[in-house]
Amino acid sequence: MTTVIRNGYLMDPARQLDGHGWVHIKDTQIAGVGLGEPPAGLAADETIDARGLVVAPGFIDLHTHLREPGEESKETIESGSRAAVAGGFSTIVCMPNTKPPIDHASLVKFIHLEAQRVNLANVLPVGTVSRGREGKELADIGELVNAGVVAISDDGAPIMDSGLMRCALEYARMFGIPVMEHCEDLQLANLGVMNEGFYSTKLGLRGAPTVAEDVMVARNLLLAEYTGGRLHLCHLSTAGGVRMVRDAKARGVQVTCEVTPHHLVLTDAAVCDYDTNFKMNPPLRAEADRLALIEGINDGTIDAIATDHAPHSSTSKDVEFDQAANGVVGWVDCSKEEAASWCARRTSPWRA
Amino acid sequence: MAWDKKDLLGLEYLSAEEILTVLDTARAFSEVSTRAIKKVPALRGKTVVNLFYEASTRTRASFELAEKRLSADIINMNVSTSSVTKGETLLDTVRNLCAYKIDVIVIRHAMSGAPIYLARNIECSVVNAGDGMHEHPTQALLDIYTLREKLGDLRGRRIVIVGDIAHSRVARSNIWGLTKLGAQVTVVGPSTLIPREIEQMGVRVQHNLDEALRDADAVNMLRIQREREKLTLFPSLREYAILFGLNRTRMQGLPDKLIVMHPGPINRGVELSGSVADGPNSVILEQVTNSLAVRMAVLFLVTGGTSLHPEHMSA
Ligand SMILES: [Zn+2]
Ligand SMILES: [Zn+2]
């Protein structure tokens, strides 16, 4: 069985493909790819005309919440994989803040088995930094790595204990895996439910200032520099964070970072009538922050766009703003074309 | 008259014309409370629910009396917040009430935006009686009504609001209403209690009370509470009274005609000394009296009253 896809717009930054072209598929393998018309004499059992469509390799989402085990009413490994594939993502990295948290090798095995059974997307589990995700002592990170975690993270909450964060970076260095950190100083965030600024003032909602994130970005960069550990900053949302990561990279600190689609296209103005769909953590920020994130993508400071796909049931969103859960769905409204255009803009300069 | 809204959610959402419509309607109703029989049939056959998720004596009493003087049927529900967290959701509670075919819900809630959320989801009228740190529109309307009684047109008048601006719904509603009517508003308070970027709401910020009051026409002294936050945002009530309290000594250097307002309840000796609260500049009790006419006007307008006919006002 051979197939040719032609007339589509090819986008593959890894192979530096960006233009109209063709893809040749033999059985389940890509046999050839190229720009322009397919070579004369390329025979195929089936031809797909992709005129007006984008053709791209499966995307990788390196920050998702699949909720299983524990909160299967919100999402499962199966429903999450299905949504991911429908949105064009063939590999997804899932965060360990499930119930129970993924702090033990047996739970990693469970995710692998379930993902194999579902057999849709590649599911790469992240293990917790701390036992029980309690932020007190290290989880059995070596065993987690042996079981197949690709990183460790207590995402959903920051690691407030700087001593523990230092240990995590130092210990994880042995295994060559990054510590993925959710940067938020909880005291400075002061239970804020949206970005602190004009809109929180106007709406009378408790504000979480950008500096609550920046203080932790700064701490984590300093600890990564000191320990030589690999740091990955999740869902960067502030202009200050982008600036500090840029400086740290210039100094050779081993840091990578990601930004979410919603922080690239929305600002805290979206909250203006208490719409709980725009309640998330980190919160949507001001326009200056949004523009700084776009600049960070253009100059390579920001390494990836990741959805932080965090589904909630409607009962936890259809309530008063203060009581609503944080988080947005990353994939349902993310069509292949939209996703492809995100990636396209990663290689060609963004416009604000 | 310009009024086509089923709800009163905040003064941010009203035009100057609509605010003036409420105030004019209130003026017409103010006469009712001077009659021997203090009752008119304007809301006869209408049902109003006073749904209070936060303790409040004065606002509730004022609404209840306003409703009674309009001949509405009323239900009072006081829901303690502790039972809310375990029990049914706000929307479920209110949908159940709506099943009785009620006409108006007057809601007081600790969470900002709760009345807006409700109004989006139900048919009957919603009147915001104070939501979290967001708005307290009827309080601001009665403050503005009182000011206009004293000063007439507010264009160019200098009004100062003093206190915990960050946590105050009274401040936000007053800022929207006063600026829409053309007044110049200055907010004064400890820098930790002035929220960020409030200048964008069209006000000036000052931290020196004497300077702010030097050329003021009126001052609205907000009630101060120290136990709002886990964090202490100012050192002590004593220091607050020294820097931001209004007392006889401070009054001596201020314009004779300065109007002193307070939304109540007063912390005597903190934001206001007894001598100022009860002194010649104070209009605090007039505010309370005016609250009835203003709330009557609001209830009348949101239930579809367009213009006042004699039968609305007959005894
Ligand atoms: Zn996070
Ligand atoms: Zn996350």
Confidence bin at A315 (pLDDT 50/70/90): confident
In this structure, the answer to whether residues B86 and B147 fall within a common structural domain is no
Best B128, B167, B196, B233 residue to mutate vs chain A (most A CBs within 10 Å):
B196
In which residue ranges of chain B is pLDDT below 70? Answer: 1, 81-86, 226-231, 306-307, 310, 315
Cβ count within 10 A of residue B159 = 27
- The dihedral region occupied by B76, where left means phi > 0, alpha psi between -120 and 50, and beta the remainder, is beta
In this structure, the answer to whether residues B272 and B141 fall within a common structural domain is yes
In this structure, the answer to whether residues A177 and A50 fall within a common structural domain is no
Q: How far is it, in rounded angstroms, from Cα B168 to Cα A176?
A: 51
In this structure, the answer to whether residues A12 and A127 fall within a common structural domain is no
B197/A320 touch (CB, cutoff 8 Å), yes or no: no
Q: Return the pLDDT at B1.
A: 63
In this structure, the answer to whether residues B57 and B75 fall within a common structural domain is yes
In this structure, the answer to whether residues A99 and A138 fall within a common structural domain is yes
Distance B196 CA to ligand 1 centre (A): 25
In this structure, the answer to whether residues B268 and B192 fall within a common structural domain is yes
In this structure, the answer to whether residues B159 and B232 fall within a common structural domain is yes
Edge to edge, the sheet with strand A304-305 lists: A152-153, A179-181, A231-233, A255-259, A304-305
CATH of the domain at A79: 3.20.20.140
End position of a domain, from candidates A54, A71, A97: A54
Number of structural domains in chain B: 2
Residue range(s) defining the domain that contains residue B237: 137-287
Provide, as residue numbers in chain A, all residues whose Cβ is less than 8 Å from the Cβ of B112. 203-205, 274, 321-322
Instruction: Please check the confidence at residue A254 and state whether its pLDDT lies above 90.
Output: yes
Q: Return the pLDDT at A314.
A: 78
Q: Where are the alpha helices (DSSP H) in chain B?
A: 16-30, 58-69, 81-86, 90-98, 114-121, 137-151, 169-180, 209-213, 237-244, 248-252, 274-277, 284-302, 310-313
B133/A204 touch (CB, cutoff 8 Å), yes or no: yes
Instruction: Please check the confidence at residue A347 and state whether its pLDDT lies above 50.
Output: no
pTM of the model: 0.89
A120, B19, B140, B154 from B217: Cα distances, Å: 71, 21, 17, 10
Per the prediction, chain B carries an average pLDDT of 93
CA torsion sign, B78 to B82 to B85 to B87? negative
Would an 8 Å CB–CB cutoff place A184 in contact with chain B? no
**Per-residue pLDDT tens over the stretch A42-61:** 888 999 999 999 899 999 99
Catalytic residue among A155, A161, A308, A322: A308
In this structure, the answer to whether residues A244 and A318 fall within a common structural domain is yes
In this structure, the answer to whether residues B108 and B192 fall within a common structural domain is no
Instruction: Please check the confidence at residue A67 and state whether its pLDDT lies above 70.
Output: yes
Distance from CA of B133 to the nearest CA of A (A): 4
Number of structural domains in chain A: 2
Would an 8 Å CB–CB cutoff place B134 in contact with chain A? yes
**Per-residue pLDDT tens over the stretch B181-217:** 999 999 999 999 999 999 999 999 999 999 999 999 9
CATH of the domain at B205: 3.40.50.1370
In this structure, the answer to whether residues A39 and A175 fall within a common structural domain is no
Between A and B, how many CB-CB pairs are < 8 A?
68
Give the residue, A351 or A211, on which the prediction is more confident.
Answer: A211
End position of a domain, from candidates A54, A71, A90: A54
In this structure, the answer to whether residues A212 and A307 fall within a common structural domain is yes
Range with lowest mean pLDDT among A181-190, A200-209, A302-311, A319-328: A319-328
In this structure, the answer to whether residues B124 and B145 fall within a common structural domain is no
**One-letter identity of residue B250:** R
Contacts 24+ apart (CB under 8 A), A135-140: A135/A159, A135/A160, A135/A161, A135/A164, A136/A161, A136/A164, A137/A164, A138/A164, A138/A167, A138/A168, A138/A171, A139/A103, A139/A104, A140/A103, A140/A104, A140/A105
Would an 8 Å CB–CB cutoff place B90 in contact with chain A? yes
Confidence bin at A15 (pLDDT 50/70/90): confident
**Residue B108 — φ and ψ, nearest 5°?**
-115, 125
In this structure, the answer to whether residues B271 and B301 fall within a common structural domain is no
Would an 8 Å CB–CB cutoff place A204 in contact with chain B? yes
In this structure, the answer to whether residues A102 and A38 fall within a common structural domain is no
End position of a domain, from candidates A37, A54, A71: A54
The CA-based angle B128-A281-B191, given to 5 degrees, is 60
A352 assigned to some structural domain: no
Edge to edge, the sheet with strand A59-64 lists: A59-64, A89-94, A122-125
Best A276, A320, A322, A323 residue to mutate vs chain B (most B CBs within 10 Å):
A320
Q: Return the pLDDT at B213.
A: 97
In this structure, the answer to whether residues A225 and A320 fall within a common structural domain is yes
Name the percent of chain A lying above pLDDT 70: 93
Give the residue, A33 or A338, on which the prediction is more confident.
Answer: A33
Q: How far is it, in rounded angstroms, from Cα A135 to Cα A128?
A: 9
**Per-residue pLDDT tens over the stretch B42-97:** 999 999 999 999 988 899 999 999 999 999 999 999 887 555 556 788 999 999 99
B301 assigned to some structural domain: yes
Distance from CA of A222 to the nearest CA of B (A): 28
Residue range(s) defining the domain that contains residue A92: 61-344
In this structure, the answer to whether residues B146 and B270 fall within a common structural domain is yes
A148 assigned to some structural domain: yes
Q: Return the pLDDT at A341.
A: 46
Q: How far is it, in rounded angstroms, from Cα B59 to Cα A136?
A: 48
**Residue B13 — φ and ψ, nearest 5°?**
-95, 5
A320/B111 touch (CB, cutoff 8 Å), yes or no: yes
In this structure, the answer to whether residues A240 and A100 fall within a common structural domain is yes
In this structure, the answer to whether residues B260 and B302 fall within a common structural domain is no
Q: Return the pLDDT at B85.
A: 56
In this structure, the answer to whether residues B141 and B220 fall within a common structural domain is yes
In this structure, the answer to whether residues B113 and B191 fall within a common structural domain is no
Q: How far is it, in rounded angstroms, from Cα B302 to Cα B211?
A: 41
B145 assigned to some structural domain: yes
Q: Is B109 helix (H, G, I), strand (E, B) or coil?
A: strand
Q: Return the pLDDT at B228.
A: 63
A349 assigned to some structural domain: no
- Quote the tokens at residue A265: 């296209």
In this structure, the answer to whether residues A205 and A155 fall within a common structural domain is yes
Average pLDDT on A315-335 reads 75
Q: Return the pLDDT at B55.
A: 86
In this structure, the answer to whether residues A48 and A72 fall within a common structural domain is no
- The dihedral region occupied by A19, where left means phi > 0, alpha psi between -120 and 50, and beta the remainder, is left
A238 assigned to some structural domain: yes
A351 assigned to some structural domain: no
Average pLDDT on A329-339 reads 50
CA torsion sign, B33 to B35 to B36 to B42? negative
Residue whose C-alpha is closest to residue A163's, from A257, A226, A208: A226
A69 assigned to some structural domain: yes
Q: How far is it, in rounded angstroms, from Cα B43 to Cα B299?
A: 8
B4 assigned to some structural domain: no
Q: Return the pLDDT at B159.
A: 98
Best B131, B134, B135 residue to mutate vs chain A (most A CBs within 10 Å):
B134
**Per-residue pLDDT tens over the stretch A266-298:** 999 999 889 999 999 999 999 999 999 999 999
**One-letter identity of residue A185:** D
Please indicate whether residue A308 is annotated as part of the active site.
yes
A197/B114 touch (CB, cutoff 8 Å), yes or no: no
A350 assigned to some structural domain: no
In this structure, the answer to whether residues A141 and A7 fall within a common structural domain is no
A249 assigned to some structural domain: yes
